[in-house]
């Protein structure tokens, strides 16, 4: 029997993550997609040349955070365990059709992410150590509402303890429990490891992510490609199934077509966090001078997170016809399949804890203006708590605080939409 606290959290999450959120995200994405002439499609080559293929992606670290470092830190925060276990959950609830709507969510979310990071660039602040910013700054400076900025920052801090921290350490603890490793021991080791990161300088975490994220993503992508190649004869039929089920009005899975669409959209939002405003502070610290370039880095981030990593996870599961991710990899890797998934979860969760420590600290600094060490100590303590707490409570609170950031952020983006479009016109007059 569920305790009342859990029932309250579940009720709030049903309201936050239902049709209204999907409609708001859909409206935002469609609006900026149309106003920019489908920029994420028509200028994808330019986006690549400006970001990952640019010779300027690794600049002088002494003058601020190099763009590629900021990208890796932001990607570390978004590519969490949800890219592995979350996709399997989406398939279980929404069926294969949910993957199509996850793609739509991602492509539209690219432009929402573009908009929020353009604003992040326009309203970032200067300090002796470089530039900094975040969604709370364009709420305060752009909308003239310090209260709204504080509300967003408070939710962001709480989300950093939940989604960015406790839920990830909980996932690591759960994954390692299969090997009879005590959660208390996991919590202690994780706390000491994370403490070594967050008690250092910001640049230390950025440099860590710059080396860690390509390895983390490459390890998982390579494993997925091996499974997909081994089942390549069924790829066309799987894609056919995804498109067919995406428009199946009679689908019993996920509560009909509406349930399939909501599941797919929410999976996309959970995965890439476009529209939440969470990673704006990381990109705002980048040396990139043009706000529009920050927006393009955000577009590429959503592409890697959802279109590449989440899609590969879905294909692995659908091609092997397994409902459990470890079983899917085990069809090719045998007993190593379980180990592969465990290692992937540990790597992704570690990356998210590192990335979110930056996001949470930025929000904490906005609220308090000092006491950064207090935040870091609380963050380390939450790593331990997540390792030993109930998964239901941890994930429920994480979803709630994430959802509470959407409304103020999308409101700010829409009210400041003219500034976003003006910046876009500077690169595409």
Q: Which of 119-133, 243-257, 408-422 has the lowest mean pLDDT?
A: 243-257
Q: Which token pair is 343? A: 């290692």
Computed over every residue of the chain, the mean pLDDT equals: 85
pLDDT at 241: 92
Question: How far is 89 from 243, CA to CA, in rounded Å?
Answer: 19
Is residue 356 assigned to a domain?
Answer: yes
CATH of the domain at 290: 1.20.1740.10
pTM of the model: 0.91
Is 90 exceeded by the pLDDT of residue 22? no
Question: How far is 354 from 374, CA to CA, in rounded Å?
Answer: 17
In Å, the largest CA–CA distance within the chain is 60
Question: How far is 413 from 339, CA to CA, in rounded Å?
Answer: 42
pLDDT at 380: 92
Beta bridge partners of 114: none
Is residue 299 assigned to a domain?
Answer: yes
Is residue 427 assigned to a domain?
Answer: no
Q: Which of 208-212, 215-219, 347-351, 397-401 has the lowest mean pLDDT?
A: 397-401
254 band by pLDDT with thresholds 50, 70 and 90 = very low
- Asked if 421 and 35 touch (Cβ cutoff 8 Å), the reply is yes
Is residue 6 assigned to a domain?
Answer: no
Distance of CA 313 to the CA centre of its chain: 15
Is 60 exceeded by the pLDDT of residue 296? yes
Residue 369 CB contacts under 8 Å (≥ 6 apart), including other chains: none
Q: Which of 12-16, 235-239, 301-305 has the lowest mean pLDDT?
A: 12-16
Question: How far is 120 from 134, CA to CA, in rounded Å?
Answer: 6
Question: How far is 314 from 310, CA to CA, in rounded Å?
Answer: 6
User: What is the share, in percent, of the chain residues with pLDDT greater than 90?
Assistant: 41
pLDDT at 220: 94
16 band by pLDDT with thresholds 50, 70 and 90 = confident
Is residue 94 assigned to a domain?
Answer: yes
Is residue 311 assigned to a domain?
Answer: yes
- Asked if 152 and 326 touch (Cβ cutoff 8 Å), the reply is no
Residue-range definition of the domain harbouring residue 38? 15-418
Residue written as tokens 């979310």? 109
Is residue 248 assigned to a domain?
Answer: yes
57 band by pLDDT with thresholds 50, 70 and 90 = low
Is residue 2 assigned to a domain?
Answer: no
Q: Which token pair is 133? A: 């910013």
Long-range CB contacts (within 8 A, 24+) of 5-10: 5/393, 6/392, 6/393, 6/396, 9/393, 9/396, 9/397, 9/400, 10/396
* Residue pLDDT, tens place only, 86-137: 788 778 777 888 888 889 889 999 999 999 999 999 999 887 777 888 999 9
Tally of structural domains, the chain:
1
């Amino acid at each position: 029997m569920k305790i009342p606290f859990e029932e309250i959290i579940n009720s709030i999450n049903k309201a936050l993550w239902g049709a209204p959120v999907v409609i708001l995200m859909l409206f935002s994405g469609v609006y900026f997609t149309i106003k920019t002439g489908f920029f994420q499609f028509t200028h994808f080559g330019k986006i690549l040349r400006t970001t990952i293929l640019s010779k300027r992606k690794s600049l002088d670290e002494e003058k601020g955070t190099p763009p590629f470092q900021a990208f890796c830190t932001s990607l570390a925060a978004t590519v969490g365990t949800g890219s592995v276990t979350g996709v399997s959950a989406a398939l279980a609830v929404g069926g294969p059709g949910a993957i199509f709507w996850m793609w739509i969510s991602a492509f539209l979310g690219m432009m929402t992410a573009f908009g929020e990071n353009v604003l992040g660039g326009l309203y970032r602040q200067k300090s002796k150590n470089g530039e900094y910013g975040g969604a709370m700054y364009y709420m305060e400076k752009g909308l003239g509402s310090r209260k709204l900025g504080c509300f967003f920052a408070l939710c962001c801090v709480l989300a950093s303890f939940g989604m960015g921290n406790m839920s990830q350490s909980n996932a690591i603890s759960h994954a390692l429990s299969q090997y009879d490793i005590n959660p208390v021991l996991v919590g202690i080791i994780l706390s000491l490891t994370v403490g070594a990161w967050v008690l250092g300088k910001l640049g230390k975490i950025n440099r860590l992510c710059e080396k860690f994220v390509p390895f983390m993503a490459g390890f998982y992508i390579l494993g997925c490609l091996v499974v997909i190649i081994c089942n390549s004869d069924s790829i066309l039929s799987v894609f056919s199934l995804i498109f067919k089920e995406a428009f199946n009005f009679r689908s019993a899975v996920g509560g009909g077509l509406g349930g399939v669409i909501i599941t797919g959209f929410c999976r996309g939002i959970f995965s890439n966090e476009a529209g939440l405003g969470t990673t704006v502070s990381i990109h705002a610290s980048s040396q990139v001078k043009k706000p529009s370039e920050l927006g393009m880095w955000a577009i590429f981030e959503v592409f890697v997170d959802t279109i590449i990593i989440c899609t590969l996870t879905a294909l692995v599961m659908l091609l092997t016809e397994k409902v459990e991710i470890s079983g899917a990899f085990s069809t090719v890797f045998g007993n190593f399949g379980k180990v592969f998934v465990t290692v992937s979860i540990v790597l992704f969760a570690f990356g998210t804890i590192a990335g979110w420590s930056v996001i949470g600290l930025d929000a904490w600094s906005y609220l308090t203006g000092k006491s950064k060490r207090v935040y870091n100590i609380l963050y380390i303590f939450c790593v331990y708590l997540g390792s030993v707490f109930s998964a239901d409570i941890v994930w429920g609170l994480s979803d709630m605080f994430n959802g509470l950031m959407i409304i103020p952020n999308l409101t700010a983006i829409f009210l400041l939409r003219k500034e976003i479009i003006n910046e876009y016109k500077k690169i595409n007059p």
